[in-house]
Amino acid sequence: MASITWLGQMGLRICMDGTTILVDYFASDFQGRRVPALLPVSEMKNVDGFAGSHNHPDHIDHPAWRIWGSECPEAKFIFPSVHRQSVLDDGIPEERQLPVDAGQSVQIGGITIRAIPAAHEFLSPDEQGRYPCLQYIIEGEGKRIYHTGDTLRYEGMLPLLKTFGHIDAALLPINGRDGTRYRNNCIGNMTFQEAADLAGELEPDLVLPGHWDMFADNPGDPEAFADYLDAKYEGKIACRIPVHMEEIKL
């Protein structure tokens, strides 16, 4: 049976069809983090793949990737292709890398991962059209999970998402953005209202708010998200405020 487990921030453990991947799992010690690593870095077992949505430490955790590259010798690593050199610098050989660009897909065991652009706060493609931040549609066992990474909603994003078909579960960032954070180089995401509207229009079976628990200076309000979603969409979208390490069957 397919399942997801929230690992804090935007971290998910996804199990489908006998395959396990971790997406945006932030495992290293880091100044200011409020939630400790829920799965110890040195005790990672039975993981087939590690995916990162963009090259920020709470999404592609390079110190942890260096350890997992050694301790999990069969695991593959998925990331935006523009960051290939930084992953090589982690000691992960090319044959274990699965770099991906928007519009492309990769497969690990029974799981297929499809990529679309993310706007964190901007889309910012390079001269080759490669996006530094991605969103992932993760499929397996007849289920489809939408992991936004870090993004704002941009023109054309909803129609693009709808081309994938029905979403069974979605993890959306709700921490928003403001001038103070931007001046401190803390670039933002959807507000809880914007995330609720995306969920209301996308109509997944289940939506989880993310990116609200890890840092005191970059918070979000999951209760406000759930209340706004319920009020505006009249309870039609199932919302679950996730609990660390609670496995959710799909």
Instruction: Convert the pLDDT of each residue in 237-250 to its tens digit.
Output: 999 999 999 999 99
What residues make up the domain containing 171?
Answer: 3-242
**Is residue 249 in some structural domain?**
no
**Is residue 247 in some structural domain?**
no
Helices 222-233/192-202 angle, 10° precision: 40
Q: What is the mean pLDDT of residues 100-124?
A: 97
Band of residue 68 on the pLDDT scale cut at 50, 70, 90? very high
**Is residue 135 in some structural domain?**
yes
Band of residue 43 on the pLDDT scale cut at 50, 70, 90? confident
**Is residue 37 in some structural domain?**
yes
| Residue 200: both structure tokens together | 């209301």
Alpha carbon distance 118, 74 (integer Å): 29
**Is residue 63 in some structural domain?**
yes
**Is residue 250 in some structural domain?**
no
Q: What is the mean pLDDT of residues 85-103?
A: 97
Alpha carbon distance 21, 24 (integer Å): 10
pLDDT at 42: 86
Alpha carbon distance 90, 66 (integer Å): 5
pLDDT at 134: 98
The position carrying tokens 């010690």 is 29
**Is residue 248 in some structural domain?**
no
Domain at 73, CATH number: 3.60.15.10
pLDDT tens digit string along 158-190? 999 999 999 999 999 999 999 999 999 999 999
**Is residue 109 in some structural domain?**
yes
Q: Is the pTM of this model over 0.85?
A: yes
| Contact (Cβ atoms closer than 8 angstroms) between residue 192 and residue 174 | yes
The position carrying tokens 């990672």 is 44
Number of domains in the chain: 1
Band of residue 200 on the pLDDT scale cut at 50, 70, 90? very high
Residue 191: pLDDT above 90?
A: yes
pLDDT tens digit string along 216-228? 999 999 999 999 9
